[in-house]
Structure 1
Amino acid sequence: MKEDTIYLRMRLRVQTKPDSIIKIGDITQVIGPENIVNQIQSLSLYQISKSDKNIVVIDLMHIINTIQSFNSAIDIQTIGPTQTIIDVIYKSKKPNIGFIILVWLLLFIGSAITIMNFHEDVSMQQVHQKLYYIITGEELIKPLLLQIPYSLGLGIGMILFFNHLFKKRINEEPSPLEVEMFKYQQDLDQYVIIKENKETVKRVGHDP
């Protein structure tokens, strides 16, 4: 008969250093009797090695097996995800200023050319000329009265769209780019879980 009940929820993603020892408390949230929770959280699960490279996936079954080996009388109730992705963070090199400037210039020039090509395709200058003529009744080759506010509005619109001014967020609402990055991260995590978690693949009818 089970004596104690614990509730366990795995974290989606955890970052650690190379050669670390992963414990249950590092990758899970555990609720239950305090004395049992403290013991369970200190149980070792996995030793990070160089062969693991950058990513390790810990499955829920591994945790349950470890807890039952420690005390088979514990009733384990699980909530949430069944795998945790562990990112092994190595020492990062200092950023190369020259490389950063080169990438910034490429992005700036590429974005500028894209905007100019779009404006050329839709004949934006002719549109401004016609609008200026409709409003004022005068023909003008460079209607700066429309072009300057339009250029400022284009920049302000991009800031509002991405919801960031440099590193400062304008409001709490996520930008479309952040939403797409979140969806991409979810797909990437799912791929990593399926690819890296060897327990999800069982070969039947093959030689061991």
Structure 2
Amino acid sequence: MEQKVKEAKLFHFKKRGNEREIISILKAVEVIKEIDKTAEVVNMGPEDFIVYLKEVTQEKKWAHYLKIAGVCLVAFFGASFSIMSYNTDVAIDDLFATVYQLVMGTPPKGPTILHLAYTAGLAIGIVIFFNHAGKIKLTDDPTPFEVQMRLYERDVNDTLMIDAGRKKEEQDVSS
């Protein structure tokens, strides 16, 4: 029976490229019941689910690397601007100069050990917070970006399913 259920057709996409369809679990139960009327089906998951049809396209390597470089540049300059704005806002140079003068007794003549320690600490803190440096992950935990992307994907799917239910566009037992 398992093989028959796996081979059963639940929905047929019209070949138009990228599509998605929201399907009610009741439609899946109906298809299973057509295979074996004596089967007892217990849903342990969501009431609706989304099936995506994605057209596979082969992207050129140079375009892929160009996108990666663009994202890296935007992230680098955006983070740099944010850090510089924060440092200017809290007057970090004045703070370091004051601390240096209190400890050493003379005003600083350029960058100090405080600047070096602050820069190294900032870099180490970023690596620890984002949980990876390059391809090396520090722990098996997901990064903050991965967590937010999963939450976003879940919210998008929930919204699509709710909207399809309201508009009566989902594949249900009556369709």
Structure 2: state its 5+ residue gaps.
none
Q: Which amino acid aligns with 2:132?
A: H
1:83 and 1:193 in contact (8 A); partners too: yes
How many residues get paired?
A: 166
Structure 2 equivalent of residue 82 of structure 1: 47
Structure 2 equivalent of residue 206 of structure 1: none
Structure 1 equivalent of residue 85 of structure 2: 117
How do 1:69-108 residues align onto structure 2 when only pairs under 5 Å count?
69-92=34-57, 93-95=59-61, 96=63, 97-108=65-76
Higher relative contact order (CA closer than 8 Å, sequence separation 6+)? 2
> CA 1:120/1:85 → structure 2, altered by over 3 Å: closer, same or farther?
same
Provide Cα deviations, 1:24-75, integer angstroms capped at 9, x if missing partner. Answer: xxxxxxxxxxxx2222222121222234733222221111111222222222
Q: Which amino acid aligns with 1:185?
A: E
The DSSP-based 3-state class of the residue aligned with 1:58 is: strand
Structure 1: state its 5+ residue gaps.
1-35, 202-208
Provide Cα deviations, 1:128-159, integer angstroms capped at 9, x if missing partner. Answer: 11111222222114242110111111111111
Following superposition, the deviation at residue 126 of structure 1 comes to 0.6
> CA 1:190/1:109 → structure 2, altered by over 3 Å: closer, same or farther?
same
1:37 matched to 2:2? The reply is yes
Following superposition, the deviation at residue 115 of structure 1 comes to 1.2
Aligned-residue Cα RMSD (Å) equals 2.4
1:153 matched to 2:134? The reply is no
Instruction: Determine what percentage of the aligned residue pairs are the same residue.
Output: 24
Higher share in strand: 1
Q: Which amino acid aligns with 1:65?
A: E
Using the size of structure 2 for normalisation, the TM-score is 0.81
The DSSP-based 3-state class of the residue aligned with 2:11 is: strand
Higher share in helix: 2
2:18 and 2:55 in contact (8 A); partners too: no
The DSSP-based 3-state class of the residue aligned with 1:148 is: helix
1:128 matched to 2:93? The reply is no
Structure 1 equivalent of residue 133 of structure 2: 165
Structure 2 equivalent of residue 60 of structure 1: 25
Q: Which amino acid aligns with 1:191?
A: T
> CA 1:103/1:174 → structure 2, altered by over 3 Å: closer, same or farther?
closer
Using the size of structure 1 for normalisation, the TM-score is 0.70
